[in-house]
Structure 1
Amino acid sequence: MRAHTSTVEPLDDAAALAGQIRAVVGKLTRRLRGKAPPGGLSWSQARVLGRLEREGPTTLTALAREENMRSQSMGAIVGPLAEAGLIVGAPDPSDGRQTLLSVTAKGRDKVLANRRIREDWLAERMRATLTAEERAALTRALALMDIIADD
Structure 2
Amino acid sequence: MSGPKSSPQTGLASTLAAELRTVFRRIKLRLREHGVPGDLTPSQISVLLRLEQDGSTTVSSLARTEGMRPQSMSAVVAPLQESGLVRGIPDPGDGRQTLMSLTPRCLKLLQEGRAARQDWLTMRISQKLSVQEQEKLQAALALLTRLVED
Q: TM-score, normalised by structure 1?
A: 0.72
1:139 matches 2:141: no
1:139 & 1:32 partners in 2: Cα distance?
Answer: 19
- Identity across the alignment (%): 45
2:93 & 2:147 partners in 1: Cα distance?
Answer: 34
> Which consecutive segments of 4 or more residues in structure 1 shift more than 4 A?
91-98
Structure 2 unaligned regions, length at least 5: 1-9
1:5 maps to what in 2? none
Deviation at 1:122, TM superposition (A): 1.0
Question: Letter of the aligned partner of 1:14 in structure 2?
Answer: A
Q: Secondary structure at the match of 2:88?
A: strand
Count of aligned positions: 141
Matches within 5 A, 1:74-89: 74-89=73-88
Structure 1 unaligned regions, length at least 5: 1-10
**Residues 17-62 of structure 1: per-residue CA shift (max 9 Å, x gap):** 2222111111111111222354243343234223322443333234
User: Greater Rg, structure 1 or structure 2?
Assistant: 2
1:46 maps to what in 2? 45
Q: TM-score, normalised by structure 2?
A: 0.72
**Residues 91-128 of structure 1: per-residue CA shift (max 9 Å, x gap):** 55666655432211111011111222222111110110
Question: Letter of the aligned partner of 1:72 in structure 2?
Answer: Q
Two-structure CA RMSD over aligned residues (Å): 2.9
Bigger relative contact order, structure 1 or 2 (CA pairs below 8 A, ≥6 apart): 1
1:63 & 1:30 partners in 2: Cα distance?
Answer: 25
